[in-house]
Amino acid sequence: MEEDKVWDVSDDDVEKFLSEAIRLVEECGEIIKEAVAKQNNREIDQKEENASEGHGSAVLTETDMKVEQLLIKGLSGKFTDHKFIGEENVSKDGLIKSYTNAPTWIIDPIDGTMNFIHSNPLVCTSIGLTINKKLVAGVVNCPLVGLLYSAIRNKGAWLNSRDNKLKVSGVKDISKALMVMELPVGANKEKKSVAQANLDIMMDRAHAVRCPGPAALDITWVGAGSADSYFHFGIHCWDMAAGALIVKEAGGVVLDPSSGQEFDLMSRDILVCSSQQLADQILSFLKSYKTERDMDEKLVYF
């Protein structure tokens, strides 16, 4: 069957795919910057299927749609046999209907939408590429602060150029760790209660706790050595795909936070850490919040 076809793609092909994705996300970055400068960054709709997950999960802007359409049009025009999973377009009803071995771009056009509508500069575009259902490339671009992170499977991760290779901090003890998490403002009572319990423990044990907002950027910062750990229950594959690969390629740990087992991109949960020792400490106290999966199929992505 076509969906079971194993794709034979060379290293040069992956380089070409990522190069085009970077070109397009940089173009999208200009759109995002212009929208903020002109105050065209206001909320236009609420995604009702995400309402119980918190205000940030339910916000939609005109720029979200514009950026995703540009990315899909640009990539599909260049690579006609590639597929797409996008937060605003392909999955606008909250469901992923198709996922095959074909080269598949998993797109979050604006991660940190709540930051975006408040003109906070911590806003990013995230694109991960899977082939044969394995992560092979990713890019996270934060245009308002000039940070573009990228990675290729088994080749490394970089900031802004191949001359600036990323490496995790290597922090092993939570007492020395800068921990990053999300505060689910507006979420249902159970999700808020779990977040508060985890925050209380970290405030007693961690060196620092931060809640910047965009999941893709929060994950990526662990790979960049700008944070030491991040966890989240209830985000989506488009929030995690690129950042997870960046952390892995920078020498970090990427796990399922509920079980401590291998990361599953469709599980909607993630724990990334600067070391396995730090991950073990966090797993010993971390309380979980269960959500519906993006897809039923369980897959290991590295």
Identified catalytic residue from 68, 218, 239, 264: 239
Cβ pair 13, 135 in contact under 8 A: no
Which residue of the set 31, 96, 106, 110 is catalytic? 110
111 is catalytic: yes
Catalytic residue among 108, 218, 264, 269: 108
**Catalytic residue flag (residue 108):** yes
C-alpha distance across the termini of the chain, in Å: 24
Contact 29/143 with Cβ under 8 angstroms? yes
Q: Burial code of 144-157, b = ≥16 C-beta within 10 A, e = fewer?
A: beebbbbbbbebbb
CB 142 within 8 A of CB 246: no
Catalytic position from the list 53, 64, 68, 87: 87
CA 257 – CA 45 distance, rounded (Å): 31
- 288 and 194 Cβ atoms separated by less than 8 Å: yes
The one catalytic residue among 61, 63, 104, 113: 113
For 5-103, where are the E strands, in sequence order? 43-46, 59-61, 83-86
Residues with Cβ within 8 Å of 220's Cβ and at least 6 positions away in sequence, in order, are 124, 140, 149, 242, 243, 246, 247
Task: Please say if 110 is a catalytic residue.
Answer: yes
Taking the C-alpha atoms of residue 284 and residue 263, their distance in angstroms, rounded to an integer, is: 17
Is-catalytic flag, 31? no
269 is catalytic: no
Q: Which of 53, 111, 182, 249 is catalytic?
A: 111
Rounded Cα–Cα distance for residues 166 and 151 (Å) = 9
Answer yes or no: are the C-beta atoms of 250 and 167 closer than 8 Å. yes
Phi-psi region of 251 (alpha: psi -120 to 50; beta: other; left: phi over 0): left
Q: Is 113 a catalytic residue?
A: yes
What CA–CA distance (Å, rounded) separates 228 from 208?
A: 10
Q: Which residues does the annotation mark as catalytic?
A: 87, 108, 110-111, 113, 239
